Amino acid sequence: MFTGSKKQLLELIKRKGTISIDEAVENTDLAKTTLREHFLQLERDGYIQRDYVRSGPGRPSLEYQLTQKGNNLFPSYESALIKELLNFLKSKDDEETIKEFFKSFWEDRVEKARHRMDQSSETDFETRIESLTHMLEEEGFMPEFNIDKENDTLSIKECNCPFSEVVKETQLPCELEAMFFKELFNEDAERTSHIAEGDFSCTYDIPI
Query: Considering the entire predicted model, what is its pTM?
Result: 0.68
pLDDT at 191 over 90: yes
Q: State the Cα–Cα distance between residues 40 and 48, nearest whole angstrom.
A: 9
Q: How many H-runs (helices) and E-runs (strands) does the chain carry?
A: 9, 6
The topology (CATH level 3) of 4-71 is: Arc Repressor Mutant, subunit A (1.10.10)
* Phi then psi dihedrals of residue 63, to 5 deg: -130, 160
Residue ranges per structural domain of the chain: 4-71, 84-207
Separation of CA 129 from chain center: 15
Task: Give the other-Cβ count within 10 Å of 134's Cβ.
Answer: 15
Could you report the per-residue pLDDT of 59-94, keeping only the tens digit for each? 788 999 998 888 888 876 677 778 888 889 989 999
